[in-house]
Amino acid sequence: MNTPLTAQSLTGLPQDTPHDTLQEATRIRAVTSWILEAPTRRKHKLSNTSISYQGYVFVRVTLENGVEGWGEASTLGGPRWAEESVEAIKANIDTYLAPALIGKPACLLEAAAGEMARACKRNYAAKSALDTALLDATGKSLGVPAHVLLGGARRTSFSAIWALASGDAAQEVEEAQGMIEKGWFNRFKIKLGFADPKTDLDRLAALQKALPPGTDIIADVNQGWSEADFIRYLPRLADLGVSLVEQPLPAGQMAAMARISARSPIPIMMDEGVFTLDEAFDGCARGAGSVLSLKLCKHGGVHQLKQVAGVAQAAGVQLYGGCLLESSVGAAAHLHAFATLPALEWGTEHFGPKILIEDLCRDGLRYENFEVHLPEGPGLGVTPDLDLIDRYARKD
């Protein structure tokens, strides 16, 4: 015989509590945040910065029922990839966002997003960390995986992409071959834009020659080229068999992105140019790319990510699961959102847990058969390692 769900079974509270038991049980009692600096296995270079450790803000929300939920905001080398730094993220969480949420029910996720929107403008990475923590805590309170609260999983594993970004062709070849041998990754994104285009493309050619024939290679320019650069070097990108080019031009140059997208035989992906719903609509309407990279740190939360995905899908734009070197906490949050989408045509590059010397979870993500797998268990399905958080937390 099936056992009915009751207020007591969901929250451990007595049966005679009011009908809004879940809201009362999941009221936010406290929010705690830490700045972490977690070392990476090798340097990770972009067009405008290079890092040897990854900066995070970890967030823990504690509910009245004693449940704890975890979230994470990620940056790359300070306010260079976007305007947020770990210092600003923590300050805005502690000063503006947490006070707006304390005492409110964590289970009312859309209402919480509205409270955060009123508390401060943009600050999408900070908002996404808290949104993730509320999602994790609500899932744990109900005993269900986070994806159930977002509509339920349509897939439980994702084709996984590894980023090559040291700038050393020989090192990148060895690294890529090692990923293939381990069965973790057999698709690769190579970072361009931090050298002149010819040097970058020579590096890409060495990689393409050394890898098995037909290996999927994506080129990420990170806004490092001009429209003229792209036109000049497009034939070589095509000759090298590149399957996708990510954000080759500066984020604000949507008209130019539309022009190169119209003339390119290789699909163009929008990334830094699309944070908001308005930007998604504008980029898709202009034809600034035929693929869109989704990231929680850009969109401000799981529901907003799904809204941006809906705009893209309505425009016929394909979807790619982007990352910002998140640990298993942030990566798991992405996977739960990605799992509910009707399609994720390009898979995901959530390789962050594998580039860290030590992942920040005791039971992190599973990589097998060149796929990353959706965590099981309530909430995000991963458990932060408190000892590692303490070890890598910035000491004031």
In our burial notation (b when 16+ CB lie closer than 10 A, e otherwise), range 159-190 reads: bbbbbbbbbebeebbebbeebbeeebbbbbbb
Rounded to whole angstroms, how far apart are CA atoms 293 and 4? Answer: 41
Q: Which residue in the list 191, 295, 298, 354 is annotated as catalytic? A: 191
Rounded to whole angstroms, how far apart are CA atoms 335 and 330? Answer: 9
**Dihedrals phi, psi of 46, to nearest 5 degrees:** -120, 180
Rounded to whole angstroms, how far apart are CA atoms 245 and 270? Answer: 9
Name the nearest CA neighbour of 89 among 43, 50, 58.
Answer: 58
Structure tokens at 13: 């509270």
Catalytic residue list contains 83 = no
Catalytic residue list contains 104 = no
Rounded to whole angstroms, how far apart are CA atoms 232 and 253? Answer: 18
Contact 338, 322 (CB under 8 A): no
Name the nearest CA neighbour of 353 among 394, 324, 319, 379.
Answer: 324
Q: Which residue in the list 84, 175, 246, 349 is annotated as catalytic? A: 349
E-assigned strand segments in the chain: 28-45, 50-63, 68-75, 157-159, 161-164, 187-191, 216-220, 244-246, 268-270, 291-294, 318-321, 366-368, 371-373
Question: Active-site residues: which are they?
Answer: 191, 349
